[in-house]
Structures are given as C-alpha cells and as structure tokens.
Amino acid sequence: MKAWLIALSAVVTRENLRFVRQRGRFLAALVRPLVWLIVFAAGFRAALGVSIIPPYQTYITYEVYILPGLCGMIQLFNGMQSSLALVYDQEMGSMRLLLTSPLPRWWLLFSKLLAGVIVSILQVAVFLGIAALTGITVPPVGYVAVLPALVISGLMLGAFGLLISSTVRQLENFAGVMNFVIFPMFFLSSALYPLWKMAESSPLLRDICALNPFTYAVELIRFALYGELDLTALVWVGTCFILFMLAALWGYNPARAMLRSKG
C-alpha cells in the first residue's frame, strides 16, 4: 500500500508541476468560459428570454443557468489536454515505462486521472470566484456541495479522454480528434440550453442530448450548485466512468500494444 501511495503522490505532483509551468494553459482554461459567460450570454439571453425555468422550478438568469455548463466545459477541455499529454508521453516512451512498473495498471491510470481532476477543480474554483466577483453567484452551500460532483464528473470526462488517447498514436492526429469530440459533446448537451427548449426546436436533437454523457455531468454539477442531488445524473456519470475506464485499461494493455506494433 505504501508503494501505491508513493506512485500516486509522484504522478499527481508531476502533473501539477507540469500545469504550473504551463501558464498559458491556465489562462486559456479561464478565458474560454469567461468569454461565454460575459459576452455570448447576452445574445443567448436575448434569444431565450430574460429568465428560464430549470428543473427545480425557480427563475434564474441565463448567466446563472450556463454557469454549470461552463464548469463542465473547463473539465472537458482539461480532460482533453491531459489526454494530449498522455499521447506526448507515449511518443517519448515515458508512458511505457510507467505502465511496466510492478503496480497494477488500473492504479497508475487512475492516478493520472486523479491528477487531472485536481487540476480541473482548481480551474473551476478560480472561474467560480471570478464569476462571483461579477455578481453571478449561487447559494453558499452550493460551493461546498459541488465539490463531490466535480470529482465524479472530472473522473468521467478524464476517463473519456484517457480512452481517446489510447487510440491515438501521433500528436498530429490528436488535434482533429479533439475538435471532433469536444464541440459535439458540448453543444449537444444541456450546457447552453435546457432540454425542453431543445425539444421545441427538434425532438431528435433533444434525444441526442439526452444520450450525451456530458449532459449528465452538467446536470450533476447544476443541481449540486443548489445543494441538491440529481440521482439519475449521478448513476449515468458513474456508469459512464466505469465503462470508459474499462475501455481505457484495455486500450493501454502493453501486451496488446506490443502485438499491434508487430503487425
């Protein structure tokens, strides 16, 4: 058990040091949702009306409504950035050395995931702080209750990115994969529009959004920010995390990689 904790500490420390040295990554993670929150929200609010009715039947401004979706956006992009780092580690050979250690492969990959989740939570905390300074706030209990939701949603999105990285072998191909995955997941979700509003436009799009795992990550965060628990979202996010993690473990099997390299 001591060796497991040492490995976890080493992986988390390495990922956090990498994040600290990449200041542009931190700024990009904040600028992107802030632009959506401050600039684009005005246009969306004009299209949807001043207020909308979320599932808990209280009127809120559009900025407050999309706040959980933008928190999810931060975690989604962070998960993809962590996956990009994994592809780089694969090219450099450090990932192969990590996976050939005597510790279980699932624990090493979980350590990678947990390191990414910690980074994403720090980014979300700063984002929520800046949003509060602009007057966009949630109940005080929400800032505490949202922490478990961010951990679970971060693990699910990180496992999804881990799965993607196991299928990509070159950095040049990863940028296209990121754009193909991130934007459909974000826009075809409840991050920007409630599902009932989507159904008014197209029932098919509403059904697609209802099958999107990112939708349930956003709803889990949204209800948590108001001190409530969306049990359906929790079950979906937990199930998707397990499925993505199992698929990533299969993708990162060193024996499978060796057979593939031999043709």
51: three-class secondary structure by DSSP = strand
d(CA 220, CA 235): 10
Helix (H, G, I), strand (E, B) or coil at 189: coil
The per-residue pLDDT for 80 is 81
Q: What is the pLDDT of residue 259?
A: 45
H helices of the chain, in order, are 2-21, 23-35, 41-48, 62-92, 94-99, 105-133, 140-165, 171-187, 195-201, 203-211, 213-224, 231-251, 254-261
Neighbours of 15 (CB within 10 A): 19
Q: How far apart are CA 71 and CA 122, in angstroms?
A: 11
Tokens standing for residue 87? 């592809």
Q: What is the pLDDT of residue 213?
A: 93
> Exposure string (b/e) for 199-238, b if CB count within 10 Å is 16 or more?
beeeeeebeebbebbbbbbbbbbbbbbbeeebeebbebbe
Q: Provide the 8-state DSSP code for 34.
A: H
For the chain, the structural domain boundaries read 2-261
* Dihedral (CA of 164, 220, 77, 81) sign: negative
CA 197 to each of CA 27, 59, 116, 193, 226: distance values in angstroms, whole numbers, following the listed order? 32, 15, 33, 6, 21
Q: What is the pTM of this model?
A: 0.84
Cα 5 from chain centre: 24
| pLDDT digit string (tens) for the chain, length 263 residues | 677 787 778 777 877 777 767 666 677 777 778 887 877 766 665 555 544 444 444 556 777 888 898 999 999 988 887 777 776 666 666 666 666 677 787 888 888 888 889 888 998 999 999 888 888 888 899 999 999 999 999 999 989 988 887 777 666 666 667 777 888 888 888 888 888 777 777 888 888 888 999 999 999 999 999 889 999 999 999 999 999 999 988 887 766 554 454 45
Token pair listed for 75 = 């975690």
Report how far apart, in Å, the C-alpha atoms of 6 and of each of 12, 28, 111, 255 are: 10, 31, 11, 25
